[in-house]
A = this chain, B = another copy of it.
Amino acid sequence: MTRADVSPLVRAQGVTAPAGFRAAGIAAGIKASGKLDLALVFNEGPDHAAAGVFTRNQVKAAPVLWTCQVLADGRLRAVILNSGGANACTGPGGFQDTHATAEKVAAALSEWGTETGAIDVAVCSTGLIGDRLPMDKVLAGVVAVVQDMAGGITGGDEAARAIMTTDTVPKQVALHHPANWTVGGMAKGAGMLAPSLATMLCVLTTDAVAEPAGLDQALRRATARTFDRLDIDGSCSTNDTVLLLASGASEVEPSQDDLDDAVLRVCADLCAQLQADAEGVTKRITVSVTGAASEDDAVVAARVIARDSLVKTALFGSDPNWGRVLAAVGMAPVHLDPDRITVSFNGSAVCVNGVGAPGARDVDLSATDIEVLVDLGVGDSQAAIQTTDLSHAYVEENSAYSS
C-alpha cells in the first residue's frame, strides 16, 4: 500500500482544495431554468503545467477541438466551463464562439491583473448537441464569473454545480496526501456515459510540483482504469474532457508513483459518484470478468455484458436471469469455452461450467448493489466495468430531454 492509499478522500472539497486554485460558478442565463451554468477554475501558480484527455468520438465539439490545441504546450491558466449547451455540431461559427469565449476570459483575467492569453484558457461545454450558444449571455457571464472569483470567495462548490446537466448532485472530492500536497477534482455526467475515454467533463487540480509529462502519465493511467471502465449506456459524448492542472503551490514534488496513485484514487471516487447519479439508476452494477486470456479480453467481455439491454433490464427487475449473461458474453469477440464459464451474482453461483446451478433462480437481487462475476476459466487476467440498470426512469428521462 502506498502512502496515497491511506490518504483521506474528502467529498466536501473539490478543485479549490489544493493551494493555488480559485473557482467560481454563476448563473449566466445560458440555461432557461436560471440555474448555475458557467464555471471558472483558475490556477494562480506559480506553475501552470497541465494535461488533458478527450473523447475518442470522431464527432468532436468545438470546445474539445479548441482545448486540444491550447494544451499542446502543456500549460493552462484557466478553464471556463458551461452547461446548457454542448456547442457540438455547430460548424465554424461554433468554433469562433469557443475562441471568443477564451479571448474574453483572457481579457477579463488580464484586466484583473493576471496577464493571460487565450491560448492558456481551456473551454468545456455540455448540454444539448446542435445549437449555438447565446454568446451575449456567455460573454457577459465571463466578465461576471471572473469578478466573482476575484472577490476571493472559494467557489469550488458553485463551480461543481454550474457544470451539472441531468446530474442531480454535484460531484467533487479531494485527497490530502500526508506529504502536504493535495489533489482535488470535480466532474459531471449522468447520461451519454460510455467508455471511449472520459465521457463527461472533469477538472482535476493539484498543488504538487509536476511537469506536464508527469501529469499526462498520471492522468492517462487513471482514466484508463476508471472513467474508461464506466459504461452507463454505451453512448459516448462529443464533449468529453478531463483536465489536470498543477499549481506547484505546495512546493512539494511527489514521486511519479505517488502522483499516479493520488490521481487514480480521485478519479475512482468521482467515477463512483457518476455511477451513483447515473440517469434512471436504481442499481449500481459491477461486472467483473476473471479467468480471461488477457486483460483486453476481460475488459471487452465485461463491457459487452454491461451494455446488454436484456441483462440491464433483468437486473432492474432484480431478476437473476443468468442465461442473458451467458448469451451476452457469447457474443463478445474474445477467447472462451462455453463449458468453462462460471457466473455468480452477489457471490452466489448461478451457473457453473456453463450449466445452471441449483437455486440459481432464487438468488436475491433486491438490494441496490449487484456484483456480476463471470469466470471464463481460460486464463489469468481480469477486469471490471461499472454500470447501472436500464430502468423506466432512464427511458423517461431520455425520451424527453430536448423538448
Contact = CB atoms under 8 A, between A and B. Distances in A.
Contacts of A338: 58-60, 89
Interface stretch (A24-32, A104-112, A133-141, A309-317): A309-317
Contact of A309 (B90, B234, B351): B234
B403 A317 contact: yes
Given A130-B322, A356-B131, A399 B313 contact: yes
Contact of A235 (B91, B128, B310): B310
Task: Tell me the number of copies of this protein.
Answer: 2
A128 B360 CA distance: 13
A338 B88 CA distance: 11
Interface in A311-329: 313-314, 316-317, 319, 321-324, 326-329
Interface in A55-96: 56-60, 86, 88-91, 94
B321 A356 contact: no
A33 to B, nearest CB: 18
Contacts of A355: 89-91, 94
A381 to B, nearest CB: 18
Contacts of A403: 317, 319
A391 B401 contact: no
Contact of A327 (B238, B319, B360): B238
A395 to B, nearest CB: 5
A323 B233 contact: no
A324 B392 contact: no
A191 B90 contact: no
Nearest to A59: B330
Interface residues of A, number: 67
A317 B401 CA distance: 9
A77 to B, nearest CB: 29
Contacts of A402: 314, 319, 321, 323, 361
Contacts of A310: 191-192, 233, 235, 398
B391 A395 contact: yes
A399 B59 contact: no
A398 B60 CA distance: 34
Contacts of A236: 327, 330-331
B326 A89 contact: yes
Contacts of A128: 321, 323
A392 B392 contact: yes
A308 interface: yes
Nearest to A56: B331
9 contacts: A57-B331, A59-B327, A91-B355, A128-B321, A130-B351, A238-B327, A317-B400, A319-B403, A323-B402
